[in-house]
Amino acid sequence: MDIIRTPADMQSRARAMRAEGKRIGFVPTMGYLHEGHLSLVRIAQEHADVVVVSIFVNPTQFAPGEDLDKYPRDFERDEQACRDAGADIIFYPSVDDIYAKDQSVYVEEEKLSCGLCGASRPGHFRGVTTIVAKLFNLVLPDVAVFGEKDAQQLRVIRRMVRDLDFPVKILSGPTVREPDGLAMSSRNAYLSCEERQQALCLRKALDCAETLYAEGEREPETVRKAMLEVINEASLARVDYVEIVDDETMKPAETLRRPTLVALAVFLGKTRLIDNTVLG
């Protein structure tokens, strides 16, 4: 496995691999890898000859006061995880190599990114689309794999690829969970023991939504209120949002009679966790 640190070297290697007829699979990450990330590497391996994993904590997707400085980092641990998973290349650039000091061009999606995390984290998705576009131009992937836990991000990236004609096929990997149901996340490392236990309210709320849907409930607000009741039973939980939106338009759903994304963001202490499910 090779480690490439500069954008110029990454793009040069990618061009050489494509000239050799190799298909490139790409998994963009912010590091502190867990089984959820590694499952995406395995999906990429099924669709490509070479798999590149990027590790880059992207400052432009963090708002002032968020956890950029304390975001967990452990490159040696990540390197070993990539080796064990069979990745071929780690792309590990510095912030100064990725962003010019006077950078003034950004990529912005204006519909799917407006609600949910986009509403509570202004500027977040502009940072996401910009860094993914830049990484696509450096890694030159044929396929890129994103996790379904970040549901809104996945849909925004698919729209960006469609609207800007990136020659990249976007694949998704299912949310990977701990044995007790908590979605794996690098930010889980922030949780205290009590916060970790109460964090299960996210999965319980989604289970509640799925049960009500299976029983025939089709009114979004009825489902939403039931989910809030479940979350409010956790004394340390503070709701950022619980939303039920059309899975295609990302606008508030008027009924559950078509595919619907149920998404939530909840603070446990200072740690913000997200999760989701799709009904129908």
- Domain 2-173 CATH assignment equals 3.40.50.620: yes
Using pLDDT thresholds of 50, 70 and 90, give the confidence band for residue 60. Answer: very high
How far CA 103 is from CA of 64, 68, 145, in Å, comes to 18, 19, 27
How far CA 143 is from CA of 48, 266, 274, in Å, comes to 7, 32, 25
Question: Annotated active-site positions, please?
Answer: 37
Per-residue pLDDT tens over the stretch 222-273: 999 999 999 999 999 999 999 999 999 999 999 999 999 999 999 999 999 9
Q: What is the Cβ-side half-sphere exposure of residue 276, based on CA atoms within 13 angstroms?
A: 24
Per-residue pLDDT tens over the stretch 88-114: 999 999 999 999 999 999 999 999 999
Per-residue pLDDT tens over the stretch 136-152: 999 999 999 999 999 99
Using pLDDT thresholds of 50, 70 and 90, give the confidence band for residue 14. Answer: very high
Domain ranges of the chain: 2-173, 187-279
pLDDT (0 to 100) of residue 184: 97
Per-residue pLDDT tens over the stretch 143-180: 999 999 999 999 999 999 999 999 999 999 999 999 99
Token look-up 């940072």 returns 127
Contacts 24+ apart (CB under 8 A), 119-122: 119/241, 120/240, 120/241, 120/265, 121/63, 121/66, 122/63
pTM score: 0.96
Domain 187-279: top CATH class: alpha beta
Strands 260-268 and 271-279: antiparallel
